[in-house]
Structure formats: structure tokens, C-alpha cells
Amino acid sequence: MNIAALVSGGVDSSVMVHLLKEAGYDPTIFYIQIGMEEKDGFVDCPSEEDIEITSFIAKKYGCRFEIVSLHEEYWENVVSYTIDAVKRGLTPNPDMMCNKLIKFGSFEQKWGKEFDKIATGHYATTTIINDKTYLSTAADHVKDQTYFLGQINYLQVSKLMFPIGHLQKKEVREIAVAAQLPSAQRKDSQGICFLGKINYNDFIRRYLGEKEGLIVELETGRIVGKHKGYWFHTIGQRKGLGLSGGPWFVVKKNPEENILYVSNGYDPETQYGKTINLRGFQYITEDIWGDFQDEKEITFKIRHTPEFTRGKLKKINDIFRIQSEEKIQGIAAGQFGVIYDSDSRLCLGSGMIIE
């Protein structure tokens, strides 16, 4: 089998190569450059250390190694999407778009099409049911990354391999130590990759500038402060508002009037909701329910968390409505709601949250 292995230099993708070799495969290693160092104000995300470690892994296991660039594709499909979503007052998910459009999109079109499978270090698995491939959750629910894969399609999931998906993170580290991999003790990457070392607010400021607006208490309409642009703030945010007498939470935004609405207290009711409406819902493999006469028992996530929340799914015209069994904090337009089966085993698909 001809396998393309996407390696970042981190411990997960390094161990992925180790496991592929142990299984008798001879993967070609690809390192994808997506940092925007040629754009004004950007610092390159793919560091020399990442490439050095990936090169070491390739030599250690005798694998062909290629460094490929998807700078422009990343800017056009992910960075621009992020800027546009923030400008519209939405909460974007660049990691989800990167998986769908770059790692398993542009890479497939340019290089992956020559291979039978694409292997990654994601914490996820696949399950075959009636000769069809489904995206399924990882053994380690704390590290499970199926939320970030919730926008991929059937052709993509059918070609993917997740060699570490059956392992706990601790086991991955142990394998890396035993194999003397240089990434064994590396910390997991955090934040949005394309920003490199740039602060998120500095990045937003560079493209959207600043515009002073009011901070208003939702319940009373009282003006409690000012901000420098609603685009610097997200629903559910607590820190960075500069208000006294807190805690204060961002609970609503008015992009047209540049107003932030906030609520006060450790557990304000306005932080929470039980109803989530999704538009543009896409199944990864297929519609497992067929007709939608009745509500369906599901589990779901609206962000990357270890926990799955139980609820019921109902289709109303082109809207998929989730009724959660428990209150959910920080439901924000632009986020993705990812739907799983009632056993939290199969990741079925996702849609964008609307107000």
C-alpha cells in the first residue's frame, strides 16, 4: 500500500510513522508549510525545529521526505475565512477548515492523489459498517480530535488512516521514549498555526483596525464600559474586558452598532442555552436515519472538549435543531455543532451554528 504520512514534528505524528513502519508499511513523509511569513507582519509557523525533527524521523525509518508548500491555498481558504468570520461577528474555526480544505483538500489534489492512503497523527479512528467508512472517536476521549474533522467528506474519510487513534496519549509518549524519538517530550502545539508568534489580537488589529464601542449590560441596558472593536471579543469570554466588579461575560454582540453585551456574575443565566440551530449540515458518510419523522437521540459537541453532551436532533426544513439535555455555555454563531451517534462512537457530520 502506498501511504502519504503527514508529519509535523510533534510526538503524535512521529509515533504515527513508527507504527506504520512496525506494521510493514513504507510511507512517504510530507511536511506541509502553511505559515504566512511572506505576508506582512507574519512570522513563519513551520519552525526550523519542526522540519529538523521531521527530517530526522524520515532518515531514522528510511522514508522518502518531501517539504511541500500550501502557503497561498492556506491564505485563500483558511486565513481569509477567519478574518471574514470575525468581521461579521462570528466565531470561526480555522483548524476545522484547515483539515477539510488544506490537509485533505489541497494536499490531496496536488500530492495525495498519487497515494492509496493518507496517514495523520490525529486522535481519531475509522469504522467500517456495511462496506462504508465512518469517522469514529479515539480511544482517548480527552485527546479525541474528531470535532476538528467534522467537516470532512466521504471521499476524504475513506482515504484516511489514524495509526494512533487506538492509543492513550500516555501510551504514545511511552512509545516515543522507547523508540528514542526526538519529539518524545515536546509539548503539544497550542493556538492557531498560521499566526506563528503573533498575538491573536495583534493579527486581528492588523486587518480590521480598532473602533471604539460600548459595553452594555444585557439585562439592564446600562453602559458599563468601552471596547476597541467587537472583533476582539468572543461569546463566553471573561478575561480582557477591563471591567470592575466582575466577573463579566460576553453574551451577545451587535456588529452593526459595534456593541458588546455582557452579563455579571459567576453563573449568569444569559451565558447558557439548550437550543442550538445548525445550518448547512453535512453528513461525513451518509444519513444514517433516512426519514426524519421523529427526533433522534444523539450526542454532540460545539467546541473541542473531552465531554459529549446528550440531546435530541430534529430537522426543520433546512435547519438541524439540537435540544440539549443540559445547559451549554457560550453558544456562538459561526461555531460548528458536530453530531455523534447516541453512543458517542460515530462522528456523523456537522453544521454551522446560527442565532
Residue type, 129: I
Q: How far apart, in Å, do the first and last CA atoms of the chain sit?
A: 46
CB 353 within 8 A of CB 302: yes
CB 272 within 8 A of CB 329: yes
Count Cβ neighbours within 10 Å for each residue of 275-293 and write b for 16 or more, e otherwise.
ebbbeebbebbeeeeeeee
* Cα–Cα distance, 231 to 201 (Å, whole number): 9
Is the sign of the CA dihedral 21, 27, 29, 30 positive or negative?
negative
DSSP code, position 102:
I
If DSSP codes are grouped into helix, strand and coil, which group holds residue 124? coil
Query: Active-site residues: which are they?
Result: 98, 193
* Cα–Cα distance, 16 to 232 (Å, whole number): 37
* Cα–Cα distance, 193 to 195 (Å, whole number): 5
* Cα–Cα distance, 181 to 10 (Å, whole number): 10
Cα–Cα separations (whole angstroms), residue 40 to 45, 195, 198, 295, 343: 14, 12, 12, 50, 47
* Cα–Cα distance, 4 to 106 (Å, whole number): 14
* Cα–Cα distance, 32 to 46 (Å, whole number): 8
* Cα–Cα distance, 23 to 46 (Å, whole number): 29
DSSP code, position 188:
P
